[in-house]
Structure 1
């Protein structure tokens, strides 16, 4: 078990070392992101083909913003939840860190990779979350 955890830690560290700079990552963060998969520290992976909830990120120029869960509807609009997570952006050791705060909790995630189409986040428990840019399903009339 320790060996698997050590291998996992080496892989995550390698991923962090070869990512683009934090300012570049930040330019891709805003928008709608659909969960694609999660990998736990012990190597267990789960993929999601379709998700009912989409994460909406909006970061302002002052490096503060929100993350909100939304649900797409077939008419192209979104149903939003009443709750949101406040985000403070911090660059730490040349890595982009998202510091979340709600009325009940606070936690951090590190951006491993952010591109036009992909977002990979590492949380404090060592879980790696992969997201794909949300593309609405358009039904022809």
Structure 2
């Protein structure tokens, strides 16, 4: 009986700790995100110091794109025409980002989403931790960043 009670308590803690993503939270995804850490299924982490690329999300009405961009020292970004279509899907199991390219389709579940942090997990149980980022301007030339 004590074991069953312990399992129920642990299960309830797990459920209570999981963030519930609401429809109005999805707007927080828009913008530039820098990956900070990847946690693999076996519990090993790969930390990232500085990244050469950021992920840029633009989502409206649960549809949008994700593309890789390269920040420049003057606060601009190098971009190309390559992107992934993104569809936000709400289900009983969670909230998912469904990606679609001409070559592949895959999904990631949103585990955590705030103004400053995004955590996604894929079907291989690999977690991707992001932080919201802004343009870098190391030149200090006073120009307005677009």
TM-score range, shorter chain: 0.7 to 0.9
Q: Is the 8 A contact 1:110 1:122 kept in 2?
A: yes
The Cα shift of 1:21 comes to 2.6
Name 1:134's counterpart in structure 2: 133
- The structure number with the bigger radius of gyration is 2
CA distance in 2, matches of 1:19, 1:90: 16
SS of 1:19's partner is coil
The Cα shift of 1:51 comes to 0.5
CA distance in 1, matches of 2:47, 2:96: 24
Shift of the 58–38 alpha-carbon distance from structure 1 to 2, 3 Å rule, reads: same
The Cα shift of 1:20 comes to 3.0
Name 2:65's counterpart in structure 1: 66
CA distance in 2, matches of 1:78, 1:136: 8
Q: Which runs of 4+ in 1 moved over 6 A?
A: none
Name 1:114's counterpart in structure 2: 113
Shift of the 47–130 alpha-carbon distance from structure 1 to 2, 3 Å rule, reads: same
Name 1:36's counterpart in structure 2: 36
SS of 1:26's partner is helix
Q: Is the 8 A contact 2:34 2:53 kept in 1?
A: yes
The Cα shift of 1:94 comes to 5.8
CA distance in 1, matches of 2:82, 2:15: 32
How big is the alpha-carbon RMSD for the aligned residues of Structure 1 and Structure 2?
Answer: 2.2
The Cα shift of 1:16 comes to 8.8
CA distance in 2, matches of 1:44, 1:123: 15
Shift of the 15–41 alpha-carbon distance from structure 1 to 2, 3 Å rule, reads: farther
1:80-137 deviation line (CA, Å, top 9, x unaligned): 1321000111101162110000000000000000101000000111100000001333
The Cα shift of 1:75 comes to 1.5
CA distance in 2, matches of 1:104, 1:33: 24
How many residues end up aligned between the 2 structures?
A: 130
